[in-house]
Amino acid sequence: MIGKRNPSNRELRTRKDLLLVASRHAACAAFFMSAKDALAESVAKLVERGRYLVKIAGCNDCHTPGYARTGGKIPEKDWLVGDRLGWRGPWGTTYPVNLRLYIGNLSEDRWVEVAHTAQFRPPMPWFALRDMTKQDLRALYRFIRYLGPAGESVPAYLPPDQTPREPYILFPEVPQ
């Protein structure tokens, strides 16, 4: 075996140390990649749950222009941008807020707090939000954030003594 030399003990230790360090790095990378994948899967499930809740809770009916009129045939990219169609009643005139802009200004925890405590003007069914679980509210938040900001702000609330610009829906007085 001319030309081949046997590695020294020191060289063997160095190779073993390198292999040990490399295997530790690989193990750490695998752990963090699996944790990252698990987190991404968890977020994806929340987004999907939020999408489902938006559909079944009727959020699009008011907050997405044309959604109810077209039987839900509005592309998802156009969902929840608010509407200029006013809802006029004894409370004044309200407009379905652009949820994509509204949510963008709130932390997730603040959204859950607002949803559980706020009493919005009609026709917003604030009591439905109040009764949702924190997990469902977080799913709504994640879905709306997933959609990203889009659209413009809607007209501001008008008190009962001010006539809104058309179009608006006039609610009849509710008998006492």
Alpha-carbon distances of 98 from 40, 65, 83, 140, 154, rounded to whole Å:
27, 10, 7, 14, 7
Q: Let me know if residue 68 belongs to a domain.
A: yes
Q: Let me know if residue 147 belongs to a domain.
A: yes
The predicted-structure confidence for 90-142, as pLDDT tens digits, reads as follows 999 999 999 999 999 999 999 999 999 999 999 999 999 999 999 999 999 99
Q: Let me know if residue 73 belongs to a domain.
A: yes
Q: Let me know if residue 140 belongs to a domain.
A: yes
- Pair 97, 83: CB distance under 8 Å: no
Would you say residue 21 has pLDDT above 90? no
Q: Let me know if residue 87 belongs to a domain.
A: yes
The predicted-structure confidence for 131-172, as pLDDT tens digits, reads as follows 999 999 999 999 999 999 999 999 999 999 999 999 999 998
Q: Where are the alpha helices (DSSP H) in the chain?
A: 9-56, 59-63, 99-104, 108-117, 126-131, 134-147
Task: Provide the residue range defining the domain that includes 113.
Answer: 56-170
- Pair 164, 86: CB distance under 8 Å: yes
**DSSP states of 32-51 as a string?**
HHHHHHHHHHHHHHHHHHHH
Looking at the structure of the chain, the number of domains it has is 1
pTM comes to 0.77
Q: Let me know if residue 69 belongs to a domain.
A: yes
Confidence of residue 13 (pLDDT cuts 50, 70, 90): low
> What pLDDT does 127 receive?
96
